[in-house]
Structure 1
Amino acid sequence: MDFFAAYRDGLLADDYHRVPALLTGLDPAELARAGRLLANLAVDDTQATVVRVAITGHGTLSPLVPSLTAEVARHGLLLRPTVGDFGGYLTELSDPDSELYRAEAEITLCVLDAGIIFDEVPVPWRPADVRAVLDEKLAFLDKLASIFEANSKGTLVLNTLPLPHRLSAQLVDHQSRAELGALWREANARLLRFGEQHPGVLVVDLDPLLAEGIPVEDPRMAVYAKMHLSTELLARYAREIGHLARNTAGRTKKCLVLDLDGTVWGGILGEDGHDGVEVAETHHGEAFRAFQRVVKQIGAQGVLLAVVSKNDLEPVRRALTENPQMTLSENDFVRIIANWQPKHDNLKQLAADLNLGVDAFTFVDDSTLECGLVREELPGVAVLPVTGDPALHVGTLLADGWFDVRELTVEDRARVDKYREDLSRKDFLDNFDSIEQYLAELGVRVRFAPATEKELPRVSQLSLRTNQFNLTTRRLQLPEVRELADDPAWHVLAIRSSDRFGDNGLVGVIFGRRENDALHLENFILSCRVFSRGIEQACLSALLHHAREHGLTEVFGSYRPTAKNGKVADFYRRYGFTTLPGSDDGVTRFRHDLGELTEAPAHVDLDFGGTLQ
């Protein structure tokens, strides 16, 4: 059944989880149509994760909402938009009491176009006139960004200003056109650097989208409807915002899983041999080499790379280590699974090995059959079929920004090595008869202390990307984390761990709020990489002892259930907290009277540098 048939039959309101699969393969026009239908669909907020988006800007933006509704739905999210008045971005962003701020949106879009400049340029004009308006407008946008950061905990999204040909062509001499082009690009470069001074601001660069051949505007719509960006450009922009919404909701993918034959290289390894597959210097070989280069580039930025292939393991290893034309090597992959088992079963095993959910995977395969089976058996996996020309593999892989994040951290760049260390730990475990013996020899060391300024981006990332051990799943952008860290009533305590195999880095955080003689644990987050090592018990024990020693009389904790954090539902009860009477907000609350306290596990060497003063 296709999307439109499912909508007509009334199947989507109560089964919203089916929408992402039904939207797969729709072209931009069909997606916009689907978005208009979804906007009118009465979906309960419990059916999906809600993303609140406020929209303001300069020109007419009516086509943006249906496209954005569909793009957000493609990732299983439910859009709740707030749309400002036509051309009202100046007043709406300037006024902290405006409807835009009252919406408390996670993402606020301020869509800009060249009209914000040329509406104020005199006629006749020269490049110097444009420069003066650009300088004035950028200074004002800088002020708006500061006002936004002071009054919102969300992200403000600006965009670079495209320069339509009809404007530059009004200058008849090429020297003036070059001057206009230079100062316009300089202004856009300044705009792109806004994020350096304003952590709550993100700027979308429209130039790469326009390079795909998308028109800046429709001349008739620009004149008659004041719509200064084309429907096609707004739809493409909406796709970028969909990726941001997915990241905001904690659904960024963490692992790229690749088939081999026909995907990473040309030919069939079992028939062509490790030195006969196409990876360079042939028509298709160059396309596969280009794909491998992109995969390697992605892997260098903290994305885990893995192989799931129907092949024998030894020939695969020979191909990756002995073929001199191969761009990817065995060391680029955190795990290589090559056997003849169903790929969806291998993906489940890979998830278990990496201690990830399968919904953290993006899977690329050239087989329509394999893609269909994985999509059917594991709907949380992002499946990317690459069934056509290998020169198109790169575009398919990059089209949806599956691994996009706001900012790369030190932990991101070291992630592959850390997961390899985790796999070594699993192998090490096999040498022991009991988990207790294993932990005693593992040598777990924990540093538990207030987060430093340099650690705050990683703290934010943990709140955005951790799903299993995340007790309230409150997603915090960097400005929100920084605000809590600067508040004397709050304690943002970072957890670092290491052991005999290496440094795990910053793996967890506890957010606590001091109120009189009580400490409220507003959230406790721990990376899935370090589960079941006693780290959570050691940190909680240290915090409870410290609270009692400093005169506190009680500690409260909260748990908000989600589809993925059920394994920590009884976390507080396990360590001596009692359950408080239920509430209407879906949150279970707990209390510890600081009487009998749980001790830290003997195998954990804990260094607690926090204070509740």
Structure 2
Amino acid sequence: MLAYCQAQDVLFAETLSRLNLQALELPPRRTGRLRANVWRNHNFETFEGLLRPFLVYAGLDLECRVSEYDDTLGFAQWAPADVEILWVDSSRYTDRMTLEDWLAWLRGRLQDLRSRSSAPILLASWDPWGARDGAPGLAALTDAVPGAYVADLSAASIDEGIVLLDPRVAKVSGSPISRPAQVALARRLGCHWLPGLLLPPIKAVAVDLDNTLHAGVLGEDGPDGVRLDVGHVALQESLRALKERGVFLALISRNEREDVEALFAHRADYPLRWEDFSVIEVSWGSKADALGRVARQLRIALDAVLFVDDNPGELASVAAGCPGIHALFADSTGAGTYRALKYFPGLCRLSVSADDARRVEDMKANAERDTLLRAAGGEEQYFRELGIALTLRYDQVADISRLADLCRKTNQFNLALRRYNQADLASLMVRDDACVAAVSLSDRLSDSGTIAALVAVREGDMLTVTELCLSCRALGRRLEDMIVISAIRGMRLFDGCAQILFDYASGPRNQPARRWLDGLPDRLGAKVAGDGGEMPAESLRQFSAPSGVELMQE
């Protein structure tokens, strides 16, 4: 833990040092070896060396198989990989193509690679012709290619405040990317783009208060005495931006609760407000215990939480008491914490959907739902008072991105853990023997968006549910049976089938899904075969949906 805290000064420095990066040694914390195919027409090896320390910090053990230089992107000697990277010097095409021709050609290359590989595709390049109003851009390339994403190196360089290209470097290194851009883009690739494709996302950031969100100690300095430096303001603003993108915020502080409430009520200069936190834990107890309560209240696993604190000993204690949790050391000025948070692996979303953005507000409504449930005379009254509506959709391309996110991000209610990606789902949608279902949920308190993904395959009279994912935001509303059974009964493949089989794979956190499956036969009055995953289709046909829930199909 201490080595990783110390590494922040090198990895998240305002100005990166090539020498410091190359000298950095971190004990590996691997998630299992992964492979990347790198298809390139300019130098990648120099860049790969700079990438390594960021990947180690992220917990990625990535073997890069780098192709020969190839302007045609022919994908010679392709072999399966966990991610496909197109490392393209676009300036090599300007003398023979227009921007429109190049984009059309590159789209064809992406589609050809997609026909070979179901892995995520990352196109890392830039527009050498210069952006023009109304002209298609790099981002438009991936619209017709499921599971493909763009790393716009020019936009990233502008954000970093550095020059992307230096023709003098190309003569020596075999790439026109400038030396400052090489290290900055290595950080982007190792902290943002690759973790965004390969790692489970961080869903919540839990922050300490004293000497983290401000300088000083509230209990000693009082609300007026604690100080906001420029770095603290930037840090708080970045945390609010994360909340707007659907990341939960939690406050973990050893203080008197009334003092903390007074601070947020009194200090109008704080960008963060009391109501921005989905969970607030203020006490003199163990922070590890408090973080456990945070995770349970948010219905997420501890390894989806990032804890930020200014005390290395506290970070070590939390790491020991909360296995899998992510930790970040906060510096006294806030500036270093702001930069570290900006780049921390797992926080970057390659795309943010409306479902992501509504997550925080939807979870806040759970307290009112719990109150309604306790006061209601029964489930049906509870459903009627909430005004619950379920919408079923089948094999709709527009759902692919959200369903892939559910397959990748959902851990607690994920039966088979197959982690279907966009390419997998697109392929399944066009098969006659398969069906992909999306279920949306809303009530009078909030619109939860798409909360369930189901994939089923028919063989003979057997319908096998190969993937079933239910978002944590939908759990606890007494709707699990209704969601799953309604989605299955609405499938065209359900007609005439005799048996239903639920595939299941045991994982470290999907016991809630297993418990649901184990209890389903009793709730349906069904006789089961084997370990309980197979049951008569007739038991689903006879399921009586509770009144008070509106069911629609698009």
Using structure 2 for the length normalisation, give the TM-score: 0.82
Amino acid at match of 1:518: M
Equivalenced residue count is 539
**Cα separation, 1, equivalents of 2:422 and 2:296:** 30
**Is the alpha carbon distance of 1:409 and 1:609 closer, same or farther for their aligned partners in structure 2, counting shifts above 3 Å?**
same
Amino acid at match of 1:262: N
Q: How does 1:488-507 map to 2 (within 5 A)?
A: 488-499=432-443, 501-507=445-451
The answer to whether residue 493 in structure 2 is matched with residue 510 in structure 1 is no
Secondary structure of residue in 2 paired with 1:92 = coil
**Cα separation, 2, equivalents of 1:601 and 1:410:** 32
Work out whether residues 462 and 501 of structure 2, in 8 Å CA contact, stay in contact via their aligned partners in 1.
yes
Amino acid at match of 2:262: R
For residue 204 of structure 1, what is the aligned residue in structure 2? 151
1:569 to 495, 511, 514: 514
Q: Deviations over 1:118-147 (max 9, x none)?
A: xx75xxxxxxx8xx5656544422321232
For residue 38 of structure 2, what is the aligned residue in structure 1? 55
Amino acid at match of 1:75: A
Secondary structure of residue in 1 paired with 2:137 = helix
Secondary structure of residue in 2 paired with 1:274 = helix
**Cα separation, 1, equivalents of 2:26 and 2:211:** 38
**Cα separation, 2, equivalents of 1:136 and 1:69:** 35
Q: CA deviation at 1:296?
A: 1.5
Q: CA deviation at 1:552?
A: 1.3
For residue 593 of structure 1, what is the aligned residue in structure 2? 536
For residue 99 of structure 1, what is the aligned residue in structure 2? 77
Q: CA deviation at 1:357?
A: 1.0
Secondary structure of residue in 2 paired with 1:575 = helix
Amino acid at match of 1:261: D
Work out whether residues 538 and 604 of structure 1, in 8 Å CA contact, stay in contact via their aligned partners in 2.
no
The answer to whether residue 57 in structure 2 is matched with residue 74 in structure 1 is yes
Unmatched tracts of structure 1, length 5 or more = 4-19, 122-128, 164-182, 581-587
Work out whether residues 446 and 604 of structure 1, in 8 Å CA contact, stay in contact via their aligned partners in 2.
no
Work out whether residues 392 and 439 of structure 2, in 8 Å CA contact, stay in contact via their aligned partners in 1.
yes
Work out whether residues 301 and 412 of structure 1, in 8 Å CA contact, stay in contact via their aligned partners in 2.
yes
Q: Deviations over 1:384-434 (max 9, x none)?
A: 112243233321210225322232121212111111112333455666899
**Cα separation, 1, equivalents of 2:370 and 2:32:** 34
**Is the alpha carbon distance of 1:421 and 1:484 closer, same or farther for their aligned partners in structure 2, counting shifts above 3 Å?**
same
**Is the alpha carbon distance of 1:536 and 1:36 closer, same or farther for their aligned partners in structure 2, counting shifts above 3 Å?**
same
The answer to whether residue 301 in structure 2 is matched with residue 357 in structure 1 is yes
**Cα separation, 1, equivalents of 2:59 and 2:441:** 34
**Is the alpha carbon distance of 1:260 and 1:49 closer, same or farther for their aligned partners in structure 2, counting shifts above 3 Å?**
same
The answer to whether residue 236 in structure 2 is matched with residue 254 in structure 1 is no
With CA pairs under 8 Å and 6+ residues apart, which has the higher RCO, 1 or 2? 2
Q: CA deviation at 1:215?
A: 7.8
Work out whether residues 575 and 598 of structure 1, in 8 Å CA contact, stay in contact via their aligned partners in 2.
no
1:145 to 107, 110, 113: 110
The answer to whether residue 497 in structure 2 is matched with residue 552 in structure 1 is yes
Q: Larger deviation: 525-534 or 256-265?
A: 525-534
Q: CA deviation at 1:473?
A: 1.9
For residue 269 of structure 1, what is the aligned residue in structure 2? 218
1:113 to 76, 89, 109: 89
The answer to whether residue 282 in structure 2 is matched with residue 338 in structure 1 is yes
**Cα separation, 2, equivalents of 1:472 and 1:245:** 24
Q: CA deviation at 1:107?
A: 2.0
**Cα separation, 1, equivalents of 2:286 and 2:48:** 41
Amino acid at match of 2:38: I
Q: Larger deviation: 447-456 or 385-394?
A: 447-456
Amino acid at match of 1:592: M
**Cα separation, 1, equivalents of 2:549 and 2:126:** 52
Work out whether residues 386 and 444 of structure 2, in 8 Å CA contact, stay in contact via their aligned partners in 1.
yes
**Cα separation, 2, equivalents of 1:147 and 1:467:** 32
1:397 to 317, 341, 357: 341
**Cα separation, 2, equivalents of 1:265 and 1:55:** 43
Q: Larger deviation: 540-549 or 447-456?
A: 540-549
For residue 137 of structure 2, what is the aligned residue in structure 1? 190
Work out whether residues 151 and 193 of structure 2, in 8 Å CA contact, stay in contact via their aligned partners in 1.
no
The answer to whether residue 72 in structure 2 is matched with residue 90 in structure 1 is yes
Secondary structure of residue in 1 paired with 2:500 = strand
Secondary structure of residue in 2 paired with 1:475 = coil
**Cα separation, 2, equivalents of 1:565 and 1:23:** 33
Q: CA deviation at 1:559?
A: 1.1
Work out whether residues 444 and 603 of structure 1, in 8 Å CA contact, stay in contact via their aligned partners in 2.
no
For residue 529 of structure 1, what is the aligned residue in structure 2? 473
For residue 119 of structure 2, what is the aligned residue in structure 1? 154
Q: CA deviation at 1:503?
A: 3.4
**Is the alpha carbon distance of 1:301 and 1:224 closer, same or farther for their aligned partners in structure 2, counting shifts above 3 Å?**
closer
Q: Deviations over 1:552-593 (max 9, x none)?
A: 12222211222222333354443337455xxxxxxx994323
Work out whether residues 309 and 339 of structure 1, in 8 Å CA contact, stay in contact via their aligned partners in 2.
yes
**Cα separation, 1, equivalents of 2:426 and 2:142:** 15
Secondary structure of residue in 1 paired with 2:318 = helix
Amino acid at match of 1:491: C
Q: CA deviation at 1:455?
A: 3.5
Which protein has the larger Cα radius of gyration, Structure 1 or Structure 2? 1
**Is the alpha carbon distance of 1:67 and 1:574 closer, same or farther for their aligned partners in structure 2, counting shifts above 3 Å?**
farther
**Is the alpha carbon distance of 1:541 and 1:513 closer, same or farther for their aligned partners in structure 2, counting shifts above 3 Å?**
same
Secondary structure of residue in 1 paired with 2:365 = helix
2:420 to 476, 480, 489: 476
Q: CA deviation at 1:521?
A: 0.8
For residue 171 of structure 2, what is the aligned residue in structure 1? 223
Q: Deviations over 1:174-219 (max 9, x none)?
A: xxxxxxxxx4455998224433454543221324347657786898
For residue 256 of structure 2, what is the aligned residue in structure 1? 312
2:350 to 383, 402, 406: 406
Q: CA deviation at 1:229?
A: 4.4
Unmatched tracts of structure 2, length 5 or more = 12-17, 522-526
Secondary structure of residue in 1 paired with 2:272 = coil
Q: Deviations over 1:287-309 (max 9, x none)?
A: 32222222212211111111111
**Cα separation, 1, equivalents of 2:182 and 2:506:** 36
Work out whether residues 305 and 334 of structure 1, in 8 Å CA contact, stay in contact via their aligned partners in 2.
yes
For residue 524 of structure 2, what is the aligned residue in structure 1? none
**Is the alpha carbon distance of 1:133 and 1:450 closer, same or farther for their aligned partners in structure 2, counting shifts above 3 Å?**
closer
1:278 to 227, 245, 248: 227
Secondary structure of residue in 1 paired with 2:405 = helix
**Is the alpha carbon distance of 1:370 and 1:67 closer, same or farther for their aligned partners in structure 2, counting shifts above 3 Å?**
same
Amino acid at match of 1:383: A
Q: CA deviation at 1:77?
A: 3.9
Work out whether residues 215 and 333 of structure 2, in 8 Å CA contact, stay in contact via their aligned partners in 1.
no
Amino acid at match of 2:117: S
**Cα separation, 1, equivalents of 2:366 and 2:151:** 36
**Cα separation, 1, equivalents of 2:8 and 2:321:** 16
**Is the alpha carbon distance of 1:430 and 1:354 closer, same or farther for their aligned partners in structure 2, counting shifts above 3 Å?**
farther
**Cα separation, 2, equivalents of 1:481 and 1:311:** 49
Q: CA deviation at 1:266?
A: 2.5
